[in-house]
Amino acid sequence: MILCVRFRLAPTGEVMLPRLVELLTEFTPVVEATPPGEALADVRGALRYFGWSPAELASVIRVRALALYGVDCVIGAGPNPMLARMAAREARPGVTLVVEDPAEFLRDRPVVALDGVGRATARTLCGYGLDSVGRVADAPLAVLQRLVGAKAGRELWERARGVDRTPVVPGEPSRSLAAERSFPHDELDPAEQRRALLSLTEELGARMRTEGQVCRSLAVTVRYADRSTSARTRTLREPTAHSAELTALAYAVHASFGLQRARVRGIALRAEGLGPAEAAAHQLTFDPADDKARRIEAVADRARARFGPRAVLPGTLAA
């Protein structure tokens, strides 16, 4: 049995996900985090050990998340990750939706509800009258393969019958990293807001370089005094963990908000589309300043690794 736990985090609350995942590991070591606020947990062993039903275990998880971190969650349970995710999407707060009969659960749902079925595939299927999961499940495999391709057709046919062979992979590298800065009061000064952004890009850049990762885009979320938020995402010109490039893009996104005299209470930055640094291509610029900045950054990383994260800071942050 798989649980899909969807934590109801604030837009700037992704930084809490590692602690919430650690809570799940108290019940099972097989936990896969899917940022910004979801986790899959294979709880077959836990159910046998504790003698609980999936709904009972989910209730314990929900209570502990609320008691320890003040975070509510919705939980779906099913025999595989796909069904657990679908159940979590339909579950109501405080009530765990458990899929006992996959065929009955899926039959009347629109075909677009299946994992891997986008709008284009749904249009193709609906054009042939295959507009529900039940009708897709009843269709011959050969027909589906002619419509969407051999491999995709088999996957679609299996998923329509409630089969998902995707494993829960514990310890899988996060596809995003996030950090947040809160202000002690309503911050109207753009310079202070940029200073917070600089500290965030320095932190995320150092974390990515330490883990050997690069990101493809940055998402900036601004939280205001009235608790409303604004968020924007921009793609980098190339995958990178270079702090200077992250800072330049973060500043550009911040400027695009046009905050002027907005009362800002917090800023969060998320590095998205993470991938291994060794697989990323870097466009040579033949710019000695860029080469020098990267060499200085490497030296600073070694100093931080030896003497602590605040051993080397930009002058703006050290002041």
**pLDDT tens digit sequence for 148-174:** 888 888 989 999 999 988 888 886 555
Which architecture does CATH list for 2-100?
A: 2-Layer Sandwich (3.30)
Give the rounded percent of residues in the chain with a pLDDT score beyond 90. Answer: 29
Domain with CATH 3.30.70.270 in the chain: 2-100
Mean pLDDT of the chain: 85
What separation in angstroms does the CA of 94 have from each of 8, 28, 57, 62, 280? 12, 21, 13, 8, 43
Residue 224 has which token pair?
């205001």
Q: How confident is the model at residue 251 (pLDDT cuts 50, 70, 90)?
A: very high
CA distance 310 to 319: 12
Sign of CA dihedral 185, 186, 191, 195: positive
CA distance 165 to 80: 8
pLDDT score for 211: 86
Q: Is the pLDDT of residue 11 over 60?
A: no
Give the rounded percent of residues in the chain with a pLDDT score beyond 70. Answer: 91
pLDDT score for 152: 85
Q: How confident is the model at residue 121 (pLDDT cuts 50, 70, 90)?
A: confident
Q: What is the mean pLDDT of residues 43-49?
A: 91
Q: Is the pLDDT of residue 177 over 90?
A: no
Domain 103-160: top CATH class = mainly alpha
Q: What is the mean pLDDT of residues 50-66?
A: 91
* Alpha helical stretches, state H, the chain: 17-24, 44-50, 54-69, 81-90, 102-106, 119-127, 133-138, 141-148, 150-160, 190-211, 243-256, 288-307, 315-318
Q: How confident is the model at residue 13 (pLDDT cuts 50, 70, 90)?
A: low
Q: Domain 176-318 in CATH: superfamily?
A: DNA polymerase, Y-family, little finger domain (3.30.1490.100)
CA distance 255 to 263: 15
Strand partners, 217: 235, 272
Q: What angle do CA 273, 163, 115 make, to 5 degrees?
A: 35
Sign of CA dihedral 291, 293, 296, 297: negative
pLDDT score for 137: 92
Q: How confident is the model at residue 201 (pLDDT cuts 50, 70, 90)?
A: very high
pLDDT score for 319: 60
Residue at token pair 């269709």: 139
Q: Is the pLDDT of residue 101 over 70?
A: yes
